[in-house]
Amino acid sequence: MAKRVSASNVTAYYGGFKAIENINLTVEPKTVTALIGPSGCGKSTFLRSINRMHEVLPGARVEGSLTIDDQDIYDRDVDVTAVRRTIGMVFQRPNPFPTMSIFENVVAGLKLNGVRKKSILEDAAEKALRAANLWGEVKDRLGKPGAGLSGGQQQRLCIARTIAVEPQVVLMDEPCSALDPISTLAIEDLMFQLKDKFTIIIVTHNMQQAARVSDRTAFFSIEKTGDPGRLIEYDNTQKIFSNPSVKKTEDYITGRFG
Amino acid sequence: MGETPHRSADAGTGGTRVTQSHEWPAGASARVAEAPVSTRSPGGTGLGGGGALPRSRKFGAERAFRGLTLAAGTAVLVIIAAIAIFLVAKAVPALRANTENFWSYEGWSPNETEPKFGIGALAFGTVLSSALALLIAVPVALGIALYLSHYAPRRLGTALGFLVDLLAAVPSVVFGLWGRDVFSSPVRDFSVWLNQHFGWIPLFGGDGPFGASVMLGALVLAIMVLPIITSLSREVFLQTPTANEEAALALGATRWEMLRTAVLPYGRPGIIAAMMLGLGRALGETIALALTLGITFGISFNLIQNGGNTIAANIANAFGEANETGRGALIASGLVLFTITLIVNITARAIIYRRREFTESAA
């Protein structure tokens, strides 16, 4: 249920603008990896290129190779939708489908996969909601609109929606930046539980969060505005936050720049 | 434009809510606006210097503007009431003079000494041709709108969207003349073909002549309502939050599945509103149908034989030679048309209102 993600020489463009250049890193299964760095350093771009969401924007493209357990997801013969089903994504702002109920939101991905049988959908919805620590709060109102929940609940609903299709890898793009501290804590706890089953990669601006939740941390940075983002240092989280090998990383985590 | 469904959903609940929701922003903005004003006034106590707060003003732009909006709101009610009173006052004498049943008689001769006229066939023709037009136009319009908003390259989408809007600017009399003189001959050929192969279906039966039929009228109507439905739904589709589209894509949806999961449900109230506007235009369309329909006074589901008539087309055709009773009769028919349109609108509002829990939280 969890796979290794390897990037080699990944370069991504928005039209003529090169956003990231030559990113090389490997994420081990069943770990949490945090991507940190100043705004505009390309960490979200890199995250979005892992499940091929980057190319959704007009003019955006990716070069280099990205593999999931040795399968190149940018291979010509690979079905994009299959890649995205294998590599789920949770976004910065909670984005439940506004016209759907809580239940419909959770099973949306399964329905896209052609699952129609009500009993299967119900079991899967309960399982996903329990895994997202949301079941107790919503089990009596599964028919109500998903958008009627609080921000933190909505984000956990989106996590439930993502894990309901049982992906191998879960990408999280600043999943707590729109949430209050209590909801943030709930999501962080959830990440601890989820890494038993999934490979998790999270982009965060919050360095305490990176230190709390991740096993490994990748630090991205740019020289100046307009330059492509590069991977500066990638190591065990403990090492990055206590004794980084690169001066720039140390400057960033101690708050001297960025 | 994307706001339309929300607004119309609110409007269905009546005016009180609108005025209530006005109180707050008005009061709040007045307070914000007053602070800088009071600092400029010579007699004022200046910037928070410890003097008393300035008194609230009795008269001013705030109050005047509120009066203006109230007047504008009231004007709508007055106009609607005036129209209703006019229609009823003119219609009642003619209806009294009618020697046949107004609802069931199939014919229209109100100018005789013994006036005979009935609305049934006309109302039926109106609803039939409009419904048929909508049936043809809506799938095409939604297809165009989805293509323009989600498939076409941006520049092409803008250009095509402009062309579609241009179609809305063509006067209806031009559509009517085109339908009668140009479009009728392919429709006639098609009707003959339908009659030969599918004549066993009552819709396409009959012995001719074909051409100036409900089908021709409905097709012309469909082309006329196409632009309004297309451009409104396109606006609504463009309003779909990117976050929802990305959520669908990230779950592994194809483009079409994304449209079905995120875009179409989000745009549903807007699509209904667009359809109702289109239906409103189709129901009231006058000259294009007066020119293309065969003008008969019978209730028939046959779509391809010469025939068909609508309330509005009949008013246009008959008003010229109408006497006092004749005009009254036509106005009575106008009243019925008014009622049909009202029912259509109320139904649409009801459909939108029923789903408000899901659409209001969409923002």
What does A70-98 look like in DSSP terms, one character per residue? Answer: TEETT-TTS-HHHHHHHEEEE-SS----T
Identify which of A112, A94, A92 has the alpha carbon closest to the alpha carbon of residue A102: A94
Residues of B in contact with A112 (CB under 8 A): 248, 251-253, 257, 261
The proportion of chain B whose per-residue pLDDT surpasses 70, expressed as a percent, equals 84
Residue A248: pLDDT over 60: yes
Q: Which of residues 61-120 of A touch B (CB under 8 A)?
A: 81-85, 88-89, 91, 93, 95-100, 108-109, 112-113
When the pLDDT of each residue in chain A is averaged and rounded to a whole number, the result is 91
Residue B18: pLDDT over 60: no
CA A67 – CA A8 distance, rounded (Å): 9
> Inter-chain contact A99–B266, Cβ cutoff 8 Å?
yes
What is the total count of domains within chain B?
A: 1
Residues of A in contact with B248 (CB under 8 A): 97, 108, 112
Residues of B in contact with A91 (CB under 8 A): 243, 246-247, 250
CA A32 – CA A4 distance, rounded (Å): 12
Residue in A51, A58, A97 nearest the CB of B250:
A51
3-state secondary structure of A228: coil
Residue in A91, A145, A161 nearest the CB of B361:
A145
For testing the chain B interface, which of A97, A101, A104, A155 should be mutated: the one with the most B CBs within 10 Å? A97
- C-beta atoms surrounding A104 within 10 Å: 21
Lowest-confidence pick of A52-61, B16-25, B354-363: B16-25
CA A68 – CA B110 distance, rounded (Å): 81
> Inter-chain contact A100–B265, Cβ cutoff 8 Å?
yes
- Residue ranges covered by each domain of chain A: 5-91+167-253
CA A172 – CA A53 distance, rounded (Å): 13
pLDDT, one tens digit per residue, over B325-335 is 999 999 999 99
> Inter-chain contact B251–A98, Cβ cutoff 8 Å?
no
3-state secondary structure of A233: strand
Residue B233 and residue B145 in contact, taking contact as beta carbons nearer than 8 Å: yes
pLDDT, one tens digit per residue, over A109-139 is 999 988 899 999 999 999 999 988 899 999 9
User: How near does any CA of chain B get to the CA of A256, in Å?
Assistant: 34
Domain span at residue B218?
A: 1-363
User: How near does any CA of chain B get to the CA of A181, in Å?
Assistant: 23
Q: Residue B354's pLDDT band (boundaries 50, 70, 90)?
A: confident
Search chain B and give the residue with CA nearest A149: B361
Residue B242 and residue A58 in contact, taking contact as beta carbons nearer than 8 Å: no
Backbone angles phi, psi at B106, to 5 degrees: -100, 90
**Interface check A48 vs B, CB under 8 A:** no
Tokens (6 digits) for A157 = 């609903």
Per-residue pLDDT averaged across B192-201, rounded? 89
Residue B357 has a pLDDT of: 61
Per-residue pLDDT averaged across A82-91, rounded? 93
Residue B262 and residue B289 in contact, taking contact as beta carbons nearer than 8 Å: no
User: How near does any CA of chain B get to the CA of A147, in Å?
Assistant: 6
Residue B26: pLDDT over 70: no
Residue B37: pLDDT over 60: no
Q: Which residues contact A197 (CB under 8 A, 6 or more apart)?
A: A1, A2, A30
> Inter-chain contact B250–A148, Cβ cutoff 8 Å?
no
User: How near does any CA of chain A get to the CA of B264, in Å?
Assistant: 10
Q: Which of residues 150-209 of A touch B (CB under 8 A)?
A: 158, 161-162, 165
Lowest-confidence pick of A155-164, A193-202, B55-64, B249-258: B55-64
> Inter-chain contact A109–B251, Cβ cutoff 8 Å?
yes
Residue in A89, A97, A145 nearest the CB of B357:
A145
Q: Could you tell me the CATH superfamily of domain A5-91+167-253?
A: P-loop containing nucleotide triphosphate hydrolases (3.40.50.300)
Using beta carbons and an 8 Å cutoff, which residues of B are at the interface with A? 154, 241, 243-244, 246-254, 257, 261-262, 265-266, 268, 355, 357-359, 361-362
For testing the chain B interface, which of A48, A79, A99, A166 should be mutated: the one with the most B CBs within 10 Å? A99
Q: Which residues contact B254 (CB under 8 A, 6 or more apart)?
A: A81
Chain centroid offset of residue B75 CA:
21
Residue B217 has a pLDDT of: 94
Residue B49 has a pLDDT of: 58
Search chain A and give the residue with CA nearest B266: A99
The proportion of chain A whose per-residue pLDDT surpasses 70, expressed as a percent, equals 99
Residues of A in contact with B244 (CB under 8 A): 95, 97-98
CA B282 – CA B301 distance, rounded (Å): 18
Amino acid (one-letter) located at A122: E
The proportion of chain A whose per-residue pLDDT surpasses 90, expressed as a percent, equals 72
Residues of B in contact with A97 (CB under 8 A): 244, 247-248, 261-262, 265-266
Identify which of A97, A218, A229 has the alpha carbon closest to the alpha carbon of residue B268: A97
Residue position matching structure tokens 């890193």: A25
Residue in A51, A97, A144 nearest the CB of B244:
A97
CA A1 – CA B269 distance, rounded (Å): 40
Q: Tell me, what CATH number does B20's domain have?
A: 1.10.3720.10
Per-residue pLDDT averaged across B336-359, rounded? 81
Residue B16 has a pLDDT of: 40
Residue B356 has a pLDDT of: 66
pLDDT, one tens digit per residue, over B207-232 is 878 888 999 999 999 999 999 999 99
Residue B87: pLDDT over 60: yes
Residues of A in contact with B360 (CB under 8 A): none
